[in-house]
Structure 1
C-alpha cells in the first residue's frame, strides 16, 4: 500500500540468522487489485484502469502526499505491462547516473523489452535535468512515472507535463486505514491491544498515511499488555503523538489552499491556524515560505509593495535562525499578509497583456522607438520623430509606444486600496497629459 512496499532492496526473509521482515514489506500488494484506496485512479473507468484495459500506458506523474502508494502502484504497473522496473530518487541521482539508466534502457529496448522508469521526488530535478528525459520519452526508450509531493504545475517543466498525465493520489480515508489495519491484524494473527477509542486515535495519528500507520501498528503489536489500552495510555506510550496528530485527514495541498484563501480573505487568525496545522503535520517551512512569497505577489502585489520584502526577510530569517525561531518570523509574515490591502490588478493586467501579445505577436514596435545604430536603419526611418521624455514638459512626451496597427489598450486597472490608490492617481495624471498632447 505504502511507498515502502516497493523498495528496490530485497527484504530479509524471516529465519535463522536473518532479521524479520517488516510488516509493511509483508503486506506489500502483489497486484493492483490488492491496493487499498486510490480508486479515483485505479478503478475500471478511472485513468489507469482505462489505460491498462486498452493496453496503452502513457507517461505519468503521481502527485500526492507521502505514504499513499505512489511507488507501489508504479511497480505493479511495470509487472502488469511486462516492463522492466527501474527506480531512482532525484535526491541521490545526478547526470552520470541518469546517463547509465538511459543507456541500459536503450539496450533493453533493442532486446525487445521496455523500461518503466520510476523517479521519486521528481520535482527535485532542476529544469535542465528534467529536459534530459524528453528525448527518451519521445522515442519510447522509457515510460516515465514520476512521483512528487509538490504541485507539478509549479515544479515540473511544461514539456514534461505535456508528455505526461498527472494523476492525483489522495490520503487514505479512515475507512481505508481501518481496512489496512484489519489486513495487518490478519497478517499478525491477533488483534491490536487497543480499545475502540485508542484504535480511533491510532488511525488519527496516521493522518491518511498508510506507511505511517503500518509502522505504528508494528510498534503497538510488540507491546505485552494484560488489558486493551485506552486513548490516554496509547498517547503516553507514543509520546502523546495522538493529540498532536489528531487531524481530519486533509491533504497538504488542501491545507495550503486554506492558508492561501485565509490570507486573501484578510483573516489573520484563520491564516495562523492553517499555518500551524501545516507545521504540526510536518510540512517543510521552506515550502511555506515560498508559498507566502507567492501570496504577496499574487494577492497583495502593488497594494503594498513592502509585502514581498517582508516575505523575503522572513524566509531569510528562517534560513539563519532555523526552527523554532525562524517559524515565528514566517508566522509574522502570515499576519502581515493577511492584514495587508489586497489587489490582483497586476495579475489580471499581466494575463491581459499575455493574451494581447499572442493576438498581435508579429506586430513590430513603431519605428520612432527603434534604435538606429546604422545609416541604413536611419534611412528606413528608425528612430525618426522620437521624443526624449526628459526634454518634454513634465518629463512626459505622450507618444505612442504600442504597435502602429494596434489600438491602445489599458491592461492595468489599479484598485482604490493601499498603495495602488496612489498608482491609480498617477495613471490618471499621465492619461490626462496624453490626451492633451494627442498621444
Structure 2
C-alpha cells in the first residue's frame, strides 16, 4: 500500500429521498418504518490509484462522479466499503464548497490552510504565492460573497495547489475560469505532475482527459463501466452519450460492462472501437497517397485521400458522414463532416451504396496518428450513430526531406534568410 495513493474497496453510497418534508420528521418520531425511497449513487466501486498518477473520471451528469470525489476527499461517508488515502488531499470540488461566503478572501485562505494541516507560519509563507496566482487584486480583503464565479475559482485553485498536496482533486471547476486562467492552471498541473503529485481529474472535456491523464475510468448510473487508457475510456463514454436508434435507449450498465470488456479484448488486437444501430455499414476503407497508391505511411504535409464505401441497410432521412484525425494519445486534431462542410445529402433508401471521399493534406509533424470514421443520422439536432468506427486506421507520418520541425501541427513554414554585407564608408578629410 506504500505505493498506492488512493484505494477504494466495494464503495457504495445510498441516499434517502423523501416524497414530502414531513416524512423525514415522521421517520424520526416513529422509528422502525422507512418512509423514504433509496437512491444508490454508487455501487461496489473498486479502484487503486498509484502515487504520482494522473487519473481521469468521466461520466454523464448524475453518474456518481461528484459523490465519489467527496468520499475520497472525506467530506462524505460511504454507506459501505473501505477508503484508504495515503497523503494530504487538496480538493477543488464544485463551485461554492470550501469557502465561507461571509469571510474575506484572506480569511478563507488562512481558514482553509489550517483545515489542511498547515501551521500559521506555513500559511503566511505561502500567502504571497497564493494571491499572486489568484490575481484578484484588492478583492482579497473583500467578502467572498461579493466575488464573481471566475474570481472565486481563481482563489480556490490557488489555495489548492499551493498547500503542497500529495493528492490534488479537481472537479470541473476550471471550466469557470477564462481561457488565460485555464492555461495558467494546466501549466501548473504539469509542474505538479513532474513533482510526483497524484491528480484526480474530472472533466467533460474529453481532450483534456486524454492530454493529461495516464489512466481513466468511466462511471454510469453509479457503476464503474471500464478502467483503462484514456482514449479507450473516452470512446466508451462517447458511445453512452448518443442513442443508437430513434428509441433513444441507453444500455443497461451491466450489459455495457460486459460489452466493454468484450470490446476491450478486441481492441487489444485491432485498436478499433465500433458501435451503431446497424442501419448501415462502413464496409470498405481505402487510404491513398497523392499518387493514388494505397498506403498507411505518409510524409509530413503530403496529400492523403480516404475513400469509404457505405452500404445503407435501412432508410436514412438526414445522413451525415464524418472523419476525425487523432494523435497517438487519442486527442482530436481535426474533425470534419458533411454537415460542417455544408454538403447537402438527400435521403438514402435501403440497399443504397454510397462512396465518400475525404481529401486533405496531413499538416502534422512526424508521429503515429489514428483515423476514425462515422455514419450517423442527424434528426432535430440529435445525432443517432449508425456505424461509428473509432481508431480504425493507424497512420505513420515521417519527416519530409531536411525538415526536423517539432510539435503537433506542421505549418510548412518557408524560411528566407537574407544577409546584406555591411558597407563601410570612409570619408577622407
TM range (shorter): 0.3 to 0.5
Whose strand proportion is higher, 1 or 2? 2
Relative to the length of structure 2, the TM-score reads 0.37
Normalising to structure 1: TM-score of the pair?
0.36
Specify which structure has the higher proportion of helix.
1
Structure of larger gyration radius: 1
